[in-house]
Every structure is written in structure tokens, then in C-alpha cells.
Structure 1
Amino acid sequence: MTSIINVNLPQQSYEIAIAPGILDQLGQYLADLNLGKKVLVVSNPTIFKHHGERAIASLKAAGFEVASYSLPPGERYKSLNSIQKLYDIALENRLERSSTMVALGGGVVGDMTGFAAATWLRGINVVQVPTTLLAMVDSSIGGKTGVNHPQGKNLIGAFHQPRLVLIDPEVLKTLPVREFRAGMAEVIKYGVIWDAELFSQMEASKNLNQLRYIKPELIDSILTRSCQAKADVVGKDEKEAGLRAILNYGHTIGHAVESLTNYRLITHGEGVAIGMVAAGQIAANLGLWQQEDTERQNALIQKAGLPTKLPDGVDIEAIIEALQLDKKVKAGKVRFILPTQIGVVTITDDVPSETIREVLRAM
């Protein structure tokens, strides 16, 4: 059975379609949207090897002219240089305004393809076909696209909503364990910021750190409830004017740690996990929520096989300094998303630097 979640936006609403085996229906879904005949599938070599042929076969069967390009894997290639290569391929294949870029991959592929689509010919169609848990529940939805600057993550980007998000849970079987765990960080985030029921479902599960140990019903719930949470938030605040900022829970310190380790030592999800541990403890120290809630959150993070301590050698003062480069800094103040109970958070820019230092020292 296919679950359909609607992302309702004033300019361009779209569907998130979730079903096992739905990758084989990609071409039909695009045909139903009446998109132009030229399609560029963007992936990376590993993902393309697993799923590229199926995606292309489905598109060709629906009458599309298909070209493909594989980006080098890894966050360090999420740069303007890589985008230039995508523009070259787009030009070579004469992509038009009605053409579509299909992002077949994880968050890096999705962000870069989305940014290339947003800026080629001042904006062409993009369809997101996420292949990692993290991309399925988070980065493929909501239209945030971008690349990294050497001094900070996603500093260059644009909002460009997809025409469709197509999620096939079966492709998770080819996902390395570490990448699956990275995605669980974003799922836990939704439990803390929005959906206490999802949090409780995960607490009741014996294991969260490997796909094969998690019941299919829970995977279904993880995907549908996480996507619904993201759709609800984005539908209320498309361009992060207010509410959407809560989706950055755990990301403020997480991004700083990622950046300081050159995007090589930890995954994005591991950074978010570390950031959630820090934010939870900051909230407890400021009296915003109970210490037992911090412990519940941290226990769930550990159950998912994610880190709760800072990586060795990361300088605390360097983290404090890196926070000032965060996109969410306003008038020199760092904006933090802090929990008040499981399922509810608040946005504040009134966190003393000494409180941040104190929490980071303990990690």
C-alpha cells in the first residue's frame, strides 16, 4: 500500500509517496506530473550501481529521454566545483526549462541536485528519490538545497521545492549500518521536537541501530510520521521565518563539530546526535526541562548506536567561535532550539556562552 503525504505550500504543493518497490514506478509518477521529456538522473557511483538501472529503466519505459551523472561521494565534494560539472552535463544534454533533474541518493546528492536545478535556467524541475534514511525523513523534503563553503556547511544555497518525493523503503537494505544510524538521529529529532508518540514507539523497540532488527511496522511508522512532521512544519513555514527553525534541533552544535572535523570524522547524523545531547543538557541546566527527559533522549540516542560525546581533540573554544558562523545567527546571537518536554521545543537566542562551555566540557 502506498502512503501519500501532502506538502501544502502556497506556490507549489507536492506529494511524498512511500511504498516498498515504488522505485519501479518512478517513470509513471513523472509522466503523471506532465514533466518535459528530458531527465538527468544524478547519483553517486555506489548508489547508481545498486539502484540506477531500475530508475532509468522505469523512466525510459514511460517515454523519457534519460541521461545520468555520478557525483563523487562525500560531504567534502559538496562544493561549487561539483555543481559546475552538473551544469556542464545539463548543457551537454540540452536540458530545458521543462526538463527534470532526478536526485537518486542521500542528502549530499539531494542538496546538490536541488541547487543545480534551482539555478540552471533560473530553475527547472527536481524530483527527489532519497536512498538513505536521513534523506528520506529529512533532507529530501522541504526544498532546502545548497553546497558547503570551506568555512561553513550549506552557506551557499536556495529554496527550491521538489515536484515529487518518492520513497522506497526497500532500498534501505543496501545502506551501510553507519548511514542507517545517521538517519536515526533525524528520526529521534522529530520525536523530541514534534511527535511524542513516535518517541515512545522508538523507546519500546528493543533495537534501533540496525535495519534488520527493527520490525517493518516500526520502519513504516518512522518513515510516515517523520515525513508528516516535516511536511507539517514546512507547510506552516516554508522559508524558515519562524517555526521551521525547530527542525534545526541538534544542528547548531552538530554543524560546528562537523565543520571543525572537516566533514571527514563524523557523519551529519552523528553530528546531530552530539548536538542533541548538548542542547538537551543546556535545556536542563537552564531549567527548561527535567534532567530525566535529557536522560530519556540520550538513552534513545545510544540505543540507535549514535555518539553522545564530543570527538577527541575538538577544541571547545573553536566550537564557540564556529557557532558565530552559523546561518541562524541574528544580531550576533546564536539561536538555539531547546526542548521543554518530549514533543515540544522552544526557540531562544538567550543562552549564555558559559552554559554552552560548561555542557561541552562535560561531553
Structure 2
Amino acid sequence: MSEARTRTVEIAGPPRYDVRLGAGAERHLAEHARPGRRVLLVTQPGRNEVAEAASEVLAGSGARVVRAEVPDAEAAKTAEVLTGLWGLLGREGFTRDDLVVGVGGGATTDLAGFVAATWLRGVEVVLLPTSLLGVVDAAVGGKTGINTAEGKNLVGAFHPPRAVLCDPAWLGSMSRADYVSGLAEVIKCGFVTDPVILDLLQAAPARAADPAADPELAVELVARAVQVKADVVSTDLREAGLREVLNYGHTFAHAIEQVEDYRWRHGDAVAVGMVYVAEVAHRAGLIDTDLLERHRAVLASVGLPTAYPGGAQRWTELRAAMARDKKSRGSTLRLVVLEGLARPTRLEGPDEATLRAAHAAVSQAGSAAGAVP
């Protein structure tokens, strides 16, 4: 991936921090290292090159680096992995003056952030996302957490990082399927806040799906998606209201992930989830047919799924998983929907017949994805 210009997006906070996108982004770790400072470097398999570069910068500034490789993807976000890292921190004598650095995809940065949030009630964390999903979603905004048998991200804390650093070249090493999956979160930002994202994607879907083909377009899409999240979390860190719009499509997506035992890519599930809530909103009279079909058109244009196979026999499981969604209040299901392009709102207690009809629509129409290989 050829070099694109450096972009910086400021998260106004509190606390304030920067998301830096550019070549050699790991060099900025030197700003967070000092002689004698302990640094836990949490990384995942296959990220050795980035982890080694980060270690060299930290060690070159006098820090003492302790590396810990965790399982890949959602397998990292378990209580067992978490307690293992706590034990390592204890044995190495980490104090509140020390630092956690997360290198990897969204699951790794979620875990690293939660380790930092919970050790001694909070130490600093810097995140180096190496996936598209990581940089546009998981690493930005301060949400951290792990999964349980009952659902995804049900245990966690709000703990903003000191910085987020990403070299676009790291994204170029992703498989095409993983990169395209991450585009779902970018597309989500287009529907809820920034329609220019949708225009850019629809003008050049093939280039958008391949970061090596057009680095400037890739960085522009990433920067716009990060800016959307920055604008939201700067006013609502703890998801008291506005921030819920960033969960567009996620209620149904998390249900798919849980029912499939996390064998589906997160972005693939979010893509179907967006079509699902668009179907709900259309049936509730909130959006027209054109906007409903634009969901399918944009997602399909870059190769994302727009349907979830399984039919009526899966609805009971999916509905039960949706009931455990973090946005639910008591027994009332709350969905983030649109009442027009870039006009998100909440739909509380939608009619069960509408929910079932929307599920039938995404079961029968569109293209479906398979499990993560």
C-alpha cells in the first residue's frame, strides 16, 4: 500500500486525545514512554512485525516492555484470558504509573482497554489498531470489554485511550474478506451521520474494497468514519443518549454473532443488522423504499452480505439474544433506526409482528455470508 498523507482526528473528550493515521504511526509511542516505565504490550497472532516495531520504539525510550500474545479475534475476549493478563501484571509489579499498549484488531484493543481499565482501577492505554474494524470502531471512543456465554460485550468499562495510532499500511495486509467486513462500520457512519461516505463508496465500490488500489480513498473513508465517532463520543462518552446511534444495526448483529457462536465476522453481521433495522423502519413508516433498498445496494456493492440464512426456525434464538441487548430497558427492546438518511432515532418496544416480518425479509432476500474461515 503506497503512502497516503497523514491525517489526525481529535477526540475532544474529556479526556482529549488524537487518532493519528499515517506512515510510521508507531513512532508516536515515544511520547508515552520514559525510562523505567513498564509497558504491557498485548498483541495477537500474526501481528509480530507491528508489535516488534512498537517494542523497539518503547524500549528505545527507556521503557521496560512485557509482551503478551493473546488468542485471535473474539477468543481473546474471555474471563480466562483477562485473568491471565492480570496475573502477569501482578508478577511484573505494574503500578498506576505504567502503561498498556494494544496491538491488533478490534477484539485485541477491546481486551487491552479493559485490562487497563481494571488494573489498579485504571492505568493508561494506547491502542494501535491493525484492522479496519479496529481503527474505525473498537479503538476509538473508550468502550472496552469482554464477552460472556450470555452475550457480547456485556462486561466492560468506559476507559478512553491516551492515543490511537494507525499506519494505513497495516490495513493493506488484511485479507480482502476481513477488510470488506470492516467496511460495514464505515457504511454505518454514512447512514447515521455522513452520507458523503455512501457517495464515495457508490462512486468507486471496487477501489473502496481494496485499500491498496486507492490509498487516498481508504484514508478518506477511515478519517470520515473516525470523525463521526469522534463527534458523537465527545458529547456522550457513556452512551447516555446520542452515542447509541453508533449501534445502528448492532442489536440484530450481536444476536447473529451469539447464535453463530461468533463464527460470523462482526462486520458481516452488522451489514445484515443494518438491513434488518431498515426493514423494521420501513414497516414502521419511518423510511421509504428507496432508502431501504439503498442499504442493500451499498452493502452489496462492496461484497457485504444483506441476508442471514436460517429462516423461521432461527427466530426464537435470535429474538432471545436481542432481548439481552445493552440498549434494552427491562423487557422493552430499543432499536436504533432511521427516520431519514442521516436522521437516526430510537424505536422503543416495536411490534413483535414487525420484528418477525423484518426477520423474514432478511432471511429470504439478498446475499448471505458464511462463517469466518
Bin for the TM-score computed over the shorter chain: over 0.9
- Compute the displacement of 1:60 (Å): 1.3
- Compute the displacement of 1:211 (Å): 2.6
Instruction: Map 1:94-109 to 2 at 5 A.
Output: 94-109=93-108
- Compute the displacement of 1:338 (Å): 0.7
Structure 2 runs not aligned, ≥5 long: 363-373
State yes or no: 1:212 paired with 2:212: yes
Which position in structure 1 is the counterpart of 2:86? 87
Which position in structure 2 is the counterpart of 1:300? 298
Which position in structure 2 is the counterpart of 1:268? 266
Which position in structure 2 is the counterpart of 1:126? 125
Write the distance in 1 (CA, Å) between the matches of 2:326 and 2:29: 37
Q: Deviations over 1:335-354 (max 9, x none)?
A: 11111222221112141111
Contact 1:36 1:100 in 2 (8 A): no
Which position in structure 2 is the counterpart of 1:16? 19
| Residue in structure 1 matching 2:280, options 242, 260, 282 | 282
Q: Deviations over 1:132-172 (max 9, x none)?
A: 00010011011110000101001111111101111111101
Write the distance in 2 (CA, Å) between the matches of 1:36 and 1:14: 24
| Residue in structure 2 matching 1:5, options 1, 5, 9 | 9
Aligned CA-pair RMSD: 1.6
Match of 1:146, SS? strand
Write the distance in 1 (CA, Å) between the matches of 2:180 and 2:128: 19
Which position in structure 2 is the counterpart of 1:227? 226
Q: Deviations over 1:26-67 (max 9, x none)?
A: 332324xx79711111001212x2321111111112221111
Match of 2:127, SS? strand
Contact 2:141 2:229 in 1 (8 A): yes
Match of 1:236, SS? coil
| Residue in structure 2 matching 1:30, options 29, 32, 38 | 32
Which position in structure 2 is the counterpart of 1:42? 42
Write the distance in 1 (CA, Å) between the matches of 2:354 and 2:309: 20
Contact 2:45 2:69 in 1 (8 A): yes
What letter corresponds to residue 302 of structure 2 in structure 1?
Answer: A
Contact 2:336 2:345 in 1 (8 A): yes
Write the distance in 1 (CA, Å) between the matches of 2:205 and 2:163: 34
Write the distance in 2 (CA, Å) between the matches of 1:62 and 1:238: 32
Larger displacement relative to structure 2 (92-101 or 224-233): 92-101
Match of 1:247, SS? helix
Write the distance in 2 (CA, Å) between the matches of 1:27 and 1:14: 13
Write the distance in 2 (CA, Å) between the matches of 1:100 and 1:211: 31
Q: Deviations over 1:229-286 (max 9, x none)?
A: 101000010100000000000100000010001112x111111011001011111111
- Compute the displacement of 1:361 (Å): 1.1
Write the distance in 1 (CA, Å) between the matches of 2:293 and 2:73: 32
Match of 2:339, SS? strand
Which position in structure 1 is the counterpart of 2:369? none
- Compute the displacement of 1:212 (Å): 3.0
Write the distance in 2 (CA, Å) between the matches of 1:109 and 1:131: 10
- Compute the displacement of 1:2 (Å): 3.0
Larger displacement relative to structure 2 (65-74 or 344-353): 344-353
Write the distance in 1 (CA, Å) between the matches of 2:36 and 2:78: 28
Write the distance in 2 (CA, Å) between the matches of 1:138 and 1:294: 24
Structure 1 runs not aligned, ≥5 long: none
Write the distance in 2 (CA, Å) between the matches of 1:257 and 1:94: 41
Larger displacement relative to structure 2 (272-281 or 171-180): 171-180
Match of 1:157, SS? strand
Contact 2:76 2:111 in 1 (8 A): no
Which position in structure 2 is the counterpart of 1:155? 154
